[in-house]
Chains A and B, each alone.
Chain A
Amino acid sequence: DAGVIQSPRHEVTEMGQEVTLRCKPISGHNSLFWYRQTMMRGLELLIYFNNNVPIDDSGMPEDRFSAKMPNASFSTLKIQPSEPRDSAVYFCASSPWGPTDTQYFGPGTRLTVL
């Protein structure tokens, strides 16, 4: 079975540009999570969807970040405009039921904002 799929794997962009990260969760999983990982702050939960509905977006750093889940098999995380401090590895994860279930992480997208 395919795991969580993320694209692109690497993204290099210039400050001010729009960045869109994509995620396909494991089929049948009801919950989807977006995390950001940096050396300084570790693994941070940005937003969590359950049955395609955003449940907890308290970790979204500011209005420049937005996330959508139009259907059960696709989610996007958008940064507009991007800034150098957004440089990080962004992970998407999914779980069969809820946030306290085992979470299955994708390979991550390494974002570099110049």
Chain B
Amino acid sequence: QQQVKQSPQSLIVQKGGISIINCAYENTAFDYFPWYQQFPGKGPALLIAIRPDVSEKKEGRFTISFNKSAKQFSLHIMDSQPGDSATYFCAASIRGSTLGRLYFGRGTQLTVWP
């Protein structure tokens, strides 16, 4: 059973546009929601993360929006650039537990056309 559901599977955006990737979860115990970015031929790397006590977190052109009641969170990439072309994974976990694990979404392949 997929603990974190991610959509869309692929996304094509024109340079300068806004990229939006959505994720949903069921386990209300999750309290840490990171996003990982993976370039071709590389391993995933942490991009940005949010805790459920805030509804939004912004780092540069990247923003996470979090809706606790709907159990959804999303990544917005403003002014998308060709260099943002990568696969993006959302994830969720119960922070602070050595017995826990990070549950990844299936990933979204983003292509930004110049």
Chain A contacts to B: CB under 8 angstroms? 4, 31, 42-43, 45, 48, 50, 55-56, 91, 93, 97-100, 102-108
With a cutoff of 8 Å between Cβ atoms, the chain B residues found around residue A105 in the complex are 42-45
Given contacts A45-B101, A56-B101, contact A108 B46 (CB under 8 A): no
Q: How far is the CB of A95 from chain B (nearest CB, A)?
A: 9
Chain B contacts to A: CB under 8 angstroms? 32, 34, 41-46, 49, 89, 93-102, 104-107
With a cutoff of 8 Å between Cβ atoms, the chain A residues found around residue B104 in the complex are 42-43, 45
Q: How far is the CA of A100 from the CA of B32 in the complex (A)?
A: 8
Interface of B, secondary structure class, is loop
Q: How far is the CA of A55 from the CA of B42 in the complex (A)?
A: 26
Contact status A100-B43, CB under 8 Å: no
Interface of A, secondary structure class, is strand
Contact status A43-B93, CB under 8 Å: no
With a cutoff of 8 Å between Cβ atoms, the chain A residues found around residue B105 in the complex are 42
Contact status B34-A55, CB under 8 Å: no
Q: How far is the CB of B96 from chain A (nearest CB, A)?
A: 6
With a cutoff of 8 Å between Cβ atoms, the chain B residues found around residue A99 in the complex are 93, 97-98, 100-102
Contact status A100-B93, CB under 8 Å: yes
With a cutoff of 8 Å between Cβ atoms, the chain A residues found around residue B32 in the complex are 100
Q: How far is the CA of A76 from the CA of B95 in the complex (A)?
A: 27
Which of the residues B43, B93, B101, B106 comes within 8 Å of A107, measured between beta carbons? B43
Given contacts A93-B43, A100-B93, A105-B44, contact A48 B34 (CB under 8 A): no
